[in-house]
C-alpha cells in the first residue's frame, strides 16, 4: 500500500514540510545526471561543433593539437580488449557457474562462491598492479614487450569473471527444480540436462550478466592503463601494445588544454553512450524470462 497523493495534502504540517524537503533532495539527486551531461557537452562543445562525426573514424591519427581526431585505433583497442575478455570470461564464468551448480559438492561450491565474491571486490588498481608485475613479464618472455592487447584481455577477463559467474549462478539457481527433475526422469545425462534444459532456461539471466560485464569492461580504465602498453595504434596482433579510449582520457587529461581537452570530453561522451546502451539492453534482458 502506498501513501496516496491525497494524504499528502491532508493538513499535517510536519508531513507537508517533510515532503517538501525530501522532494528537494530527490530533485538534487536526479539533477546530478543532468549536470553531468550538461558539463560533458559544455566542455566538448568547441570540438563537437567544429568536427563532423565521420572524422572521428576516418582521421589518420590522434593528434588533437594538430587537428587530427582519429579515434578509430583506440576504439578498436577498446572493442577488441572488451570482446576478447567477454569471450574468455563468458566461457570460464558460465563453466564456473555450472561447476557450482552441477558438479561440485556443496561445501566446495560454497567456498568457490566465496572466493568469487571476494575477487569481485578487489579494486581495479590492484588487478592492474598485479598484471604489471606478474603477467606482463610472463608475456614478455614469450614475446616482448609484454604490455599488450593480450595482457589487457587477460586482466579484463579476471575482473569481469566474478560478475559473469555469480549472475550465471543466480540464473541457474532460478531454474525451477521441476525442469531438472523432469530431465532426470527422462533419462537425460548430466550434459544433456545442462545443454538441453538448464542453460536455455537460464539464458536470460546469463545474457544480462554478460551485458553488465561488457559494460564494466568497456568502462574499465586503471587496469588496462597499467598493462596495455599505451601506444596509439590499431592492434594487428595480440602482442601489440595498445591504448584504449578510457586510458587515453586518463593519460592525456593531465596536460591537455583547449581543443585537445575538448576532444577528450568527446571521447568520454562516446564511451558513456556505449556503456549506457549496454546497460539498457541488460535491463531489458533482465526483465524477460526464457521459456523452454
Partner 1 sequence: MTQAFDRHILFLPQTNGDAYTLGPLQSGPPCCVPEPLIRVKDLSVHYGDHPALEHVTLDIYKGCITALIGPSGCGKTSFLCALNRLTDLISGCRVEGGIRIGIQDVLDPRLDVPALRREVGMIFQKPNPFSLSIRRNIEMPLKEHGMRKRAELDETVERVLIDVGLWAEVKDRLDRSALALSGGQQQRLCIARALALEPAVLLMDEPCSALDPLSSGVVEDLIGRLRGRYTVVIVTHNLAQARRIANYAAFFWLHERVGTLIEFGQCRQIFEAPAHGLTAAYVNGAKG
Partner 2 sequence: MSEAASLAVSRDRTLDRLMGLAVYASALLVAGTFLWLLGDLLWHGAGRLSWSFLVSVPTNAGRAGGIGPILVSTLLILGVAVAAAVPLGLATAVLLAEFLERRSLFGRFVGLSLDVLAGVPSIVFGLFGNAFFCIFLGLGFSILSGGLTLACMALPILIRTAEASLRAVPDDWRLGCAALGLSRAAALRHVLLPAASSGLMAGLMLGIGRAMAETAALIFTSGYVDRMPSSLLDSGRALSLHIYDLSMNVAGGDANAYASALVLIGLLILINGTSLWLAERWLNQRILTL
Locate 196 and state its grid cell: 538441453
Question: Closest CB to partner 1 among 3 and 53?
Answer: 3
Locate 131 and state its grid cell: 598484471
Residue 2 sits in the site that holds partner 1 (CB under 8 A): yes
Beta strands in 46-174 (DSSP E): 62-63, 68-69
Q: Shortest Cβ distance from residue 14 to partner 1 (Å)?
A: 10
Q: Cβ(93)–Cβ(161) under 8 Å?
A: yes
Q: Cβ(212)–Cβ(220) under 8 Å?
A: no
Residue 23 sits in the site that holds partner 1 (CB under 8 A): no
Q: Shortest Cβ distance from residue 19 to partner 1 (Å)?
A: 15
Q: Which residues contact 211 (CB under 8 A, 6 or more apart)?
A: 278, 279, 281, 282, 285
Q: What's the chain's Rg over C-alpha atoms?
A: 24
Residue 7 sits in the site that holds partner 1 (CB under 8 A): yes
**How many residues touch partner 1 (CB under 8 A)?**
10
Question: Closest CB to partner 1 among 6 and 141?
Answer: 6
Report the residue count for the chain: 292
Question: Closest CB to partner 1 among 3 and 142?
Answer: 3
Which residues are bridge partners to 69 per DSSP?
62
Pick the stretch among 4-12, 46-54, 167-175, 226-234 that binds partner 1 (CB under 8 A).
4-12
Residue 87: name its binding partner from partner 2, partner 1, none (Cβ under 5 to 8 Å by kind): none
Question: Closest CB to partner 2 among 39 and 58?
Answer: 39
Helix (H, G, I), strand (E, B) or coil at 28: helix
Q: Shortest Cβ distance from residue 236 to partner 2 (Å)?
A: 25
Q: Shortest Cβ distance from residue 2 to partner 1 (Å)?
A: 5
Q: Which residues contact 76 (CB under 8 A, 6 or more apart)?
A: 234, 235
How many angstroms separate the Cα of 83 from the Cα of each of 17, 108, 218? 51, 31, 9
Residue 4 sits in the site that holds partner 1 (CB under 8 A): yes
Question: Closest CB to partner 2 among 58 and 88?
Answer: 88
Question: Closest CB to partner 2 among 35 and 61?
Answer: 35
Residue 11 sits in the site that holds partner 1 (CB under 8 A): yes
Residue numbers at the binding site for partner 1 (CB under 8 A) = 1-7, 10-12
Amino acid at each position: 500500500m502506498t501513501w496516496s497523493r491525497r494524504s499528502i495534502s491532508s493538513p499535517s504540517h510536519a508531513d507537508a514540510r517533510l515532503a517538501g524537503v525530501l522532494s528537494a533532495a530527490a530533485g538534487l539527486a536526479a539533477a546530478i545526471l543532468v549536470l553531468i551531461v550538461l558539463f560533458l557537452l559544455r566542455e566538448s562543445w568547441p570540438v563537437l561543433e567544429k568536427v563532423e562525426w565521420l572524422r572521428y573514424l576516418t582521421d589518420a591519427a590522434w593528434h588533437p593539437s594538430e587537428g587530427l581526431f582519429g579515434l578509430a585505433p583506440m576504439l578498436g583497442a577498446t572493442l577488441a580488449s572488451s570482446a576478447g575478455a567477454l569471450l574468455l570470461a563468458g566461457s570460464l564464468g558460465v563453466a564456473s557457474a555450472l561447476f557450482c551448480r552441477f558438479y561440485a559438492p556443496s561445501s566446495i561450491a560454497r567456498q568457490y562462491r566465496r572466493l568469487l565474491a571476494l575477487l569481485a571486490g578487489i579494486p581495479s588498481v590492484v588487478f592492474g598492479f598485479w598484471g604489471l608485475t606478474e603477467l606482463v613479464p610472463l608475456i614478455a618472455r614469450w614475446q616482448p614487450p609484454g604490455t599488450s592487447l593480450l595482457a589487457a584481455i587477460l586482466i579484463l577477463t579476471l575482473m569481469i569473471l566474478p560478475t559473469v559467474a555469480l549472475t550465471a549462478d543466480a540464473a541457474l539457481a532460478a531454474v525451477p527444480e521441476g525442469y531438472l527433475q523432469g530431465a532426470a526422469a527422462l533419462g537425460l545425462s548430466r550434459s544433456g540436462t545442462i545443454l538441453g534444459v538448464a542453460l536455455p532456461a537460464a539464458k536470460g539471466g546469463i545474457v544480462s550478466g554478460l551485458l553488465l560485464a561488457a559494460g564494466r569492461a568497456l568502462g574499465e580504465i586503471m587496469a588496462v592503463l597499467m598493462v596495455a602498453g599505451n601506444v596509439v595504434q590499431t592492434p594487428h596482433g595480440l602482442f601489440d601494445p595498445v591504448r584504449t579510449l578510457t586510458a587515453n582520457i586518463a593519460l592525456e587529461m593531465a596536460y591537455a588544454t583547449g581543443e585537445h581537452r575538448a576532444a577528450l570530453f568527446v571521447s568520454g561522451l562516446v564511451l558513456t553512450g556505449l556503456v549506457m546502451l549496454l546497460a539498457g539492453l541488460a535491463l531489458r534482458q533482465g526483465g524477460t524470462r526464457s521459456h523452454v
